[in-house]
Amino acid sequence: MADNAQPGQQPARQGRSDGPFLLGLATIGVLYVGLIVAMVVADAAFTTPRNLWQTLGSPEIRYAIKLSLISCSITAILSLWVAVPTGYLMSRNKFPGKGLVDAVLDIPIVLPPLIVGLSLLILFQTPPGRAIQKVVPITYAIPSVILAQFAVACAFAVRTMRVTFDQISPRSEQVALTLGCNRSQAFWLVALPEARRGMLTAVTLAWARSLGEFGPILVFSGATRMRTEVLSTSVFLELSIGNLQAAVAVSLLMILAAVIVLLLVRFFGSEPAFGKGMEP
């Protein structure tokens, strides 16, 4: 049979079904999604609404909820204050030692949580740390909870803001500079408004990370009832005394809080929610 392909032309590729490839991808994804759903369903099926209500009626659990909400909110705000200028600096500027600084910023992300707590504990046993504690008690007190959460959560917020500013073209800022703005004005009036979605993601991620923080708090703050107990340490305390029902109930509360946070960031982080995409 003669070859009908013209000189210089590639022979037509035979059509092949993408079904097996897509099926393999879907199978992997479904297995992982199924694992997550199965864990949540198992928690929900293990306890009852009555046990959940009884857990919420405990003064210790109510204190843990209150302290968790307050400490996570303060940590998220502090993290954003640090993440925005740091992320902008790392994204827009080149300076000696930038690679080293970038690596240092990732240390809290890759370090084991217990090591972070131990390092904070040792830090406040040094002469400068002892001097600070003479003014403000930190170790095994409420400030230690916030500091332990901040030490880890801020690193995630910084990384988020760095990526956010990397994805924003500097052209608008350069135009603002040519029109008479200084660097500070270009940042506040141009770059920051464009980074608002990233800021929302950063503060939400920091809040959620703070809520689930356990290792640094356990080492640096302890797990004292009605003092430094947050929801994550409540699960540990309830498990330590064999109260599995209460531990699962607290876990469900943390899952519910995480779901609410995800829904909020999905809604407010969308383009229409920020007024974009509404122009004719």
> How does residue 259 score in pLDDT terms, banded at 50, 70 and 90?
confident
Instruction: Map tokens 């032309």 to a residue.
Output: 9
pLDDT for 118: 94
pLDDT at 216 over 90: yes
pLDDT for 34: 95
Mean pLDDT of 234-257: 89
Question: Mean pLDDT across the chain, nearest whole number?
Answer: 86
Contact between 156 and 209 under an 8 Å Cβ cutoff? The reply is yes
pLDDT for 258: 83
232: exposed, middle or buried (Cβ count in 10 Å: 0-12, 13-18, 19+): buried
pLDDT for 260: 85
> How does residue 280 score in pLDDT terms, banded at 50, 70 and 90?
very low
pLDDT for 4: 55
The helix/strand/coil state of 235 is helix
pTM given for the model: 0.84
Domain limits of the chain?
Answer: 51-271
pLDDT for 262: 79
Mean pLDDT of 152-175: 92
Check residue 230 and report its DSSP letter: -
pLDDT for 8: 56
Contact between 195 and 161 under an 8 Å Cβ cutoff? The reply is yes
pLDDT for 279: 40
Q: Which of 147, 161, 123, 139 is nearest to 74 (CA)?
A: 147
CATH pick for 51-271 out of 3.30.360.10, 3.40.50.170, 1.10.3720.10, 3.30.1490.150: 1.10.3720.10
